[in-house]
Chain A
């Protein structure tokens, strides 16, 4: 029982980080129908921002966590905005595949650029302690191991997700985003400025990924190399698809399913933990071809 609960809790922790990344994939996909492969690398940049900014923030503000995460979100948001302007906008009305290949190119560029010796270097980095890790005693003797980092991960993710839901459902620009995701031509006929909406998606999504990067660094305590985004990014992307890509609650649901199943599978075998995501995804897509919460729209004849 204790073991079971422990894996569940670990899964929710990983799932929270995946959810923050997955939201960016799904928002961008919902609006421009692009699998933004570079999103994983924005997550990586977010994590590195934590590494570089935390000491500065600690000196300026006294506390490190909140100023660092906000600064990282601002920087990754800006990076997303620039990326869309420079790389994706010229291709907006061309084939989707060329945009996808461009996304791959941007991803490779970010990884290798950040690996340059005067940027982040390919070296292993110890992530600064943004908060002091402590175990939280749990009453009863289930042997649960819950740290304040875990609570932080879950808490920050939930706060950001609630903010995002509010943003998408209540603000004007959020409503415009949903309209554009639903039907771009009609939305533009209704006077919605598509450029602004797309830019917003490319700011908000990366900002969330940036926050995910900080949580990732805090949780694992290290940054392996500027290529660290690839695998969490892929998992988060799979989560977004699992939930139904383009669907915001779907991405969150997918991320938690992914995180929890991964935690359980990892407790059996670490390689299995890696592979389980894909098995689940294939299984679900074969039963529900557009993901758990996605809507299937057959082509009209």
Chain B
């Protein structure tokens, strides 16, 4: 058992690989009536859960850990989705049938989408992060809708008709790698001096300034990298659904991420993983309830907030999220 304590990183990696193998096997082996247990529909659901996790964790960086209040995250997702889809579909006509060309282009395209989303984040964040609380929320929401309006009126992007024919580059492997890499990067940042400064800004901006932190710069940087991850998520999303529409990225979508975050627990990465995972899958589990599903779902939400105000996880983290504590020397002179 000591192995589990001493090699936490290794254990975590093994756990992820095993999860992947199990999901993959369940999606391939003919277990139910000659078909796999997890059919394409479920695989799509798992992929969506992964995308939602990255969206929520990146939103949590801004809202939960830096204490700002952004409610326009889907706008940045839209920027990434459209940028990457334009590159792979309209400009370079890539296809899955030629993966050796397709995948490198796909990866570069979603990164480009992330960068453009980050630039949008910079444009939105720089002037607005000096606004406090609800006003920041409203500016981000407006920016979200403004981005959507721009897409709607731009014919080259498909306008109100949407953009289709996107090659399906996003598969189980892509989602696994993308989710894990993104979450690890953001978790690393959080457990660093910069991450501590984020929380300092959240707890007391005045005191953070007084301890030498350039709070504006810190806030803008978090906002920008959060937008970057939202943009990349958008790219992965576009290449999963193969068709994107401006309405996929309305403020209603942003509010969904807000729900995932606060129900999971905004002040822990674990919460930002649990929230979207549970709330992406839960409505599907309630399929039998038919039209009652969407009535019961918000009730669960309200009850969770009333009885677990801090969200499911609160500020607690899963062990594999935390950085191992180093042993301090006992006495120093």
Contacts and interface: CB of A to CB of B under 8 A. Distances in A.
A245 B262 CA distance: 24
B143 interface: yes
A74 interface: no
Interface string A226-266: 00001000100010010001000000000000000000000
A301 interface: yes
A290 interface: yes
A290 B132 CA distance: 9
Contacts of A194: none
B130 A289 contact: yes
Contact of B127 (A101, A277, A286): A286
Interface string B124-166: 0001101110110111001101101110110000001000000
Contacts of A299: 205-206
Contacts of A37: 255
A105 B301 contact: yes
Contact of B255 (A104, A117, A278): A104
B128 A275 contact: no
Contacts, number: 124
Contacts of A282: 128, 139, 142-143, 146
A115 B291 CA distance: 9
B251 A104 contact: no
B96 interface: no
A58 to B, nearest CB: 32
A90 B307 CA distance: 9
Given A275-B150, A278-B143, A101 B291 contact: no
A281 B124 CA distance: 13
Interface string A33-53: 101010000000000000000
A300 B250 CA distance: 37
Interface stretch (B41-49, B109-117, B292-300): B292-300
B76 to A, nearest CB: 15
B266 interface: yes
B139 A94 contact: no
A224 B294 CA distance: 19
A98 B309 contact: yes
Contacts of B299: 105, 109
A88 B138 CA distance: 21
A279 B146 contact: yes
A279 B145 CA distance: 9
A35 B205 CA distance: 24
Nearest to B151: A271
Interface residues of B, number: 44
A117 B290 CA distance: 12
A97 interface: yes
A285 B131 contact: yes
A141 interface: no
Contacts of B306: 87, 90-91, 102
A180 to B, nearest CB: 18
A37 B69 CA distance: 16
A91 B309 contact: yes
Interface in A274-301: 274-275, 277-279, 281-282, 285-286, 289-290, 299, 301
Nearest to A278: B142
Given A275-B146, A299-B206, A245 B134 contact: yes
Interface in B268-299: 291-292, 294-295, 297-299
A102 to B, nearest CB: 5
B258 interface: yes
Interface string B317-329: 0000000000000
B125 to A, nearest CB: 12
A230 B141 CA distance: 14
B310 to A, nearest CB: 8
Interface string A159-188: 000000000000000000000000000000
A30 B310 CA distance: 25
B156 to A, nearest CB: 14
A152 B130 CA distance: 42
Given A87-B302, A97-B266, A230-B252, A112 B295 contact: yes
B38 interface: no
B305 interface: yes
A-B interface, 4 closest residue pairs, ranked by CB to CB distance from nearest = A275-B149, A278-B142, A108-B298, A105-B301
Interface of B: 69, 127-128, 130-132, 134-135, 137-139, 142-143, 145-146, 148-150, 152-153, 160, 205-206, 251-252, 255, 258-259, 262-263, 266, 291-292, 294-295, 297-299, 301-302, 305-306, 309-310
11 contacts: A35-B137, A91-B305, A98-B309, A98-B310, A99-B305, A101-B301, A105-B259, A112-B298, A272-B149, A274-B145, A277-B145
Given A108-B297, A275-B146, 10 more contacts: A35-B134, A94-B309, A101-B305, A105-B259, A105-B299, A105-B305, A117-B291, A234-B251, A281-B138, A286-B127
